[in-house]
Structure 1
């Protein structure tokens, strides 16, 4: 009796799914009619949606101009081409950033199937990786500069204050005594500034289990205490995010610095009663941070509807002593970046009039 012919392999076996989920590029198995049989973790991550939500929609609807892509997939499926390449714009839900993502699309045939294997490569991916590396190098250089500068200021500052105190005790003129007091007061103010500069470098890193939503709720309570009216603080949490090891107080301070800046930038909208800050948490998959690949990462978005970061400082907002607010110290975002970096994370900013988004990304266990 002759053996029956072997059955054709399924479109995507469990092993295939696991392999595809490890890729940094987006991969999908797509039919000419728009049915999506599989989408990998990177595709899910870029869209900011669960795989189930990705699969239940017409796959071509995710693109700004789907006609050419639809025709290309159909042509490859009909064996007119074994492979084809084109550029396209991937549309993302507002929660994932809202901006179209320019991608290079590679469509390949699949053996024993009417579906095609489609790979999407972010054209900006390499640029983003280069930017993260530069940001990491800049953080290290900034930390070294701050530490050296603070120590150079700290030593003569003590001498200036001590001399002013002696001068105040010696002079008989009330006016001269007041001048000496001004010197002491300003020396104390500079001392406080130096202490703030040195604090993140000499404080111990207290590691414990951290729940990111407890961090957000603490910050939310502090901001509402300062701005009880006119400001809505919206929660958009993914409650499935696990706890991770970190310094809870440092993370509270980092998020507080970002949210506090946002609240002050919203002054006009607070007065009008329509100011809004959104705390959004999501899980990202297969993320590269500092040249290291992580299977899971936390994304925390702090988004406001304010006027945006001034264009003249947009590229320098994480530099020390750079502030877009009159009276600001210019240290809040610098310290936030330092604390996030100590957790192997990154912090990025996207800003335009009416929308500013700070995104903190950190690895999860």
Structure 2
């Protein structure tokens, strides 16, 4: 790798203070055209390339992305033909400076700047774009389903009470005690449906109380609860980043959200538990410069619940957060829906990737301050 002192005083002055590019959700590089050297990288580019901005400055396009004729053509088109911008889906790198990294499949924009010596390169990884569009659709669908189920729950609640009351009165009037088993069926099933309705309405009844919460205390509580139910054959591994700051949120709601996900994983592992091979990993990390539900945050909790179970059936993979969808016989299909609701109340999001032997539920929740800033 060859470094050249390309950042002259005039160029250095442009980037001596924070710029609007620092806040953008996409990766940005500003390149000095003559030598094709980086003179500025925003925080998203640092994360995406896994190289700090100080190390990026002075590296060439070839150092980062290797031999890439299509990218060079875009640079030349913008510089030579005075075209404002070029857009194209490309595979970027890896170059010598990123030899141990995977290539980046991205939608790339190359644009000219007011300074004729500089060119801007912006990219959005295609998988991130696809995930963002999928997440937007899922959020909208979940919201629609929650509204539908909430309205349906209210409609069910009143006649359900009437059915139960009528069954109790009928039981008193029946002369033959042997017939009571039938009224008891009505009463017990009414109670079961009442419990289901209450669970549908629970997140919207409960007052949300924000305070600073240690996420690892939440995880330890969940871990102890699940291990108490599955004392044999299940191992829950801790993989914590203990340097994480406290999270602003409702502790009980967070416990319930994580418990629903971990309990769901444990139930999916019943075959592995019987064989003594079931493993759930709780992993915490910090995510930087993330976009959640179209909102940009500097820092977020990146929490993973990973299990070695059979995976989620293909036919329900895209529906697991919808109400009443369950892959388990006898399951209510509400656990993950409620978890999604609680996480969304914390301005976060849950996603899932699954294949046989590896299912990963990822929760991202922003680190916020009580004054509303992140």
TM norm. shorter chain > 0.5: yes
The Cα offsets for residues 325-356 of structure 1, whole Å up to 9 and x where unpaired, read as 11211000010011111111111111122221
Residue number in structure 1 paired with 2:22: 21
- Is 1:41 equivalent to 2:43 in the alignment? yes
Please give the alpha-carbon distance, in whole angstroms, between the structure 1 residues aligned to 2:360 and 2:247. 23
Partner residue in 1 for 2:261: 258
- Aligned-residue Cα RMSD (Å) equals 3.9
What is the rounded CA distance, in whole Å, between the counterparts of 1:30 and 1:295 in structure 2?
25
Partner residue of 1:133 out of 133, 136, 147: 136
Paired position in structure 1 for 2:348: 345
The counterpart of 2:150, out of the listed 147, 151, 163, is: 147
Aligned counterpart, 1:234: 237
CA 1:109–1:166 in 2, change beyond 3 Å: closer, same or farther? closer
Question: Alpha-carbon deviations, 1:201-255, whole Å to 9, x = none?
Answer: 1111122111222211211222222223332222222233222321111111111
8 Å contact kept, 1:12–1:38: no
1:222 is the counterpart of 2:225: yes
Cα distance 1:237–1:168, how it changes in 2: closer, same or farther (>3 A)?
same
Normalising by structure 2, we get a TM-score of 0.77
Pick one of 100, 104, 126 that aligns with 2:107.
104
So what's the TM-score if we normalise by structure 1? 0.79
Q: Does 1:270 align with 2:269?
A: no
The whole-number CA distance in structure 1 between the counterparts of 2:331 and 2:216 is 28
Contact map agreement 1:76 1:116 (CA 8 A) in 2: no
Aligned residue for 2:361?
A: 358
CA contact (8 A) 1:88 1:105 kept: no
Q: Tell me, in whole angstroms, the C-alpha distance in 1 between the residues paired with 2:222 and 2:78.
A: 55
CA distance in 2, matches of 1:128, 1:202: 31
Q: Is contact 1:9–1:112 with CA below 8 Å preserved after alignment?
A: no
Inter-CA distance 171–124: structure 2 relative to 1 (3 Å threshold): same
Structure 2 distance, partners of 1:254, 1:99, is 34
SS in 2 for 1:287: strand
Residue in 2 that maps onto 1:207 = 210
Which is further off, 322-331 or 295-304? 295-304
Q: How many residues were matched structurally?
A: 346
Give the equivalent residue in structure 2 for 1:282.
285
SS of match in other structure, 1:68: coil
- Matches of 2:62 and 2:227 in 1, distance apart? 40
SS at match of 2:282: strand
Unaligned runs of 5+ in 2: 1-7, 81-85, 95-100, 369-374
Q: CA deviation at 1:179?
A: 0.9
Partner of 1:68: 67
Could you report, residue by residue, the CA deviation over 1:107-166 in whole angstroms, capped at 9, with x for unpaired residues?
Answer: 7899999x9975432224444333333222223222221221111111111111111111
User: Hey, what does 1:197 align to over in structure 2?
Assistant: 200
Task: Give the match's secondary structure for 2:324.
Answer: coil
**8 Å contact 2:89–2:105 — kept in the other structure?**
no
